[in-house]
Amino acid sequence: MAFLGILMLQTRFPRLPGDVGHPATWRMPVRRAVVAGASPQRVVRERSAGLLQPFIDTARTLVDDGAAAITTSCGFLALFQHELQAALPVPVWTSSLLQLAELAPLRPGVITVDAQALSADHLRAAGAAPDTPVEGLAPGCSLQRTLLDDLPTLDERAAQADAVDAARRLLRRHPGLGALVLECTNLPPHAEAIRQATGLPVHDLTTFVHQRWAALRLS
């Protein structure tokens, strides 16, 4: 049976339903493979330096085992979109940022784990406008610390508040946005709270991958 291969960062923080790494998130069969050395700090703040080949090698192993498509557990891996796709014979969907171009008529904005680390290079690699509005989790907030410092516990209430606060800041800075895209694959558990707080459609990697998988007509 065809399955979705997920390239996972090497992490220990808890993953809630809706997170890419939680088994209840997906409607198709999935298989995860951890990329050794791919810590949140290396991928987000060090721009995945030296990690391209480990990601390619891990993805090839998943494809050899039967993966019909590949995705990842971090939106910052949009930087590797073209290289991974060129190296693999199956569709590669590295990041929720890949849907920004098709959402452009709605004037979308991005919520990210770290606004200082998400650069125009990431947006260009995803085929998006480099001036797309971006807002990050508040530096040093509970959720950002849990994710980037890879802490073993997660305060769910604080995490939801941090995610909603980021969305509200984005809309204060950029009124008139018509959609939100969650870069971080750990934010989808809070998507409904963000929708309720903003009144806007919220897109993330899980919704994107489910749509693309359905188009493959494999299951």
**Predicted local confidence at residue 58, as pLDDT:** 98
Does the pLDDT at position 154 exceed 80? Answer: yes
**Predicted local confidence at residue 77, as pLDDT:** 98
Average pLDDT over residues 148-159: 97
Among candidates 8, 16, 6, 26, which has minimal Cα distance to 207? 26
Does the pLDDT at position 60 exceed 70? Answer: yes
Among candidates 85, 67, 100, 89, which has minimal Cα distance to 205? 100
What is the tens place of the pLDDT at every residue in 191-214?
999 999 999 999 999 999 999 999
Confidence band (pLDDT; 50, 70, 90) for 139? very high
Q: How many Cβ atoms sit within 10 Å of the Cβ of residue 105?
A: 8
CATH of domain 97-204: 3.40.50.1860
Does the pLDDT at position 218 exceed 90? Answer: no
What is the tens place of the pLDDT at every residue in 88-133?
999 999 999 999 999 999 999 999 999 999 999 999 999 999 999 9
Average pLDDT over residues 21-37: 96
Strand order in the sheet with 108-112: 134-136, 108-112, 179-182, 202-203
Class of domain 3-95+206-216 (CATH, top level) = alpha beta
**Predicted local confidence at residue 73, as pLDDT:** 98
Confidence band (pLDDT; 50, 70, 90) for 34? very high
**Predicted local confidence at residue 217, as pLDDT:** 85
Residues 6+ apart with CB under 8 A from 46: none
Among candidates 138, 109, 136, 126, which has minimal Cα distance to 203? 109
What is the tens place of the pLDDT at every residue in 78-95?
999 999 999 999 999 999
Confidence band (pLDDT; 50, 70, 90) for 1? confident
Q: What is the mean pLDDT of the chain?
A: 97
CA dist., res. 156 & res. 132, Å (int): 29
Among candidates 56, 173, 197, 31, which has minimal Cα distance to 115? 173
Radius of gyration of the chain (CA): 16
**Predicted local confidence at residue 90, as pLDDT:** 98
Cα dihedral 48→87→70→105 (10° resolution): 80
Q: Note whether 3-95+206-216 and 97-204 share their fold.
A: yes
Domain edges within the chain: 3-95+206-216, 97-204
**Predicted local confidence at residue 219, as pLDDT:** 53
